[in-house]
Amino acid sequence: MLFSEKHQIDIPDMQALYKSSHYRPRRQDNQIITVEHYYRVDLFICTVDKQLQELDSRFNEQAMELLTLGSSLLPIKDIKMFDIDNICLLVEKFYPTYFKEQEINLLRYQLELFGIEFLENPQLKDVSTIAQLCTM
């Protein structure tokens, strides 16, 4: 026995035409909108938009910048994703008491060397975490 039958839950015909006085399709009026389309596309997009608005309101600009710059520290799958400028900016803006100007310049140099080493060393291609990188 199906769960829906056991609990007397009506299942709508997903291929039926969707009709609502509140619903205004984004497409031309002559296109047919099914119940399935409404739930899979229109309602889904509306839900994602609301979640994005909620996330946008939870984080201020400084927190968003920290998250964006911090993403430069994610495991490297592609050297193109490795952004030396973002890593140095992260250090300058959010960790100024930990690094002197000379150390930031040295960091940039070391990161550039790492980028070259990454391209030339086949063992680094399999690294997927910072812990694995440290052991290499």
Instruction: Give the distance between the most distant pair of CA atoms in the chain.
Output: 72
pTM for the predicted model, two decimal places? 0.52
Residue 4 lies in a domain: no
**What angle, rounded to 10 degrees, do the helices at 101-120 and 84-94 form?**
150
Residues 107 and 92 in one domain: yes
> What total number of domains does the chain contain?
2
Residue 3 lies in a domain: no
Rounded average pLDDT per 10-residue block, the chain, 136 residues: 83 82 57 82 89 85 86 65 84 91 91 83 76 76
Query: Looking at residue 72, what is its pLDDT?
Result: 79
Residues 41 and 89 in one domain: no
Residue 1 lies in a domain: no
Strand boundaries in 40-125, DSSP class E:
none
Residue 2 lies in a domain: no
- The amino acid present at 69, given as its one-letter code, is L
Residues 83 and 122 in one domain: yes
Give the domain range for residue 121: 61-135
The Cα–Cα gap between 136 and 127 comes to 8
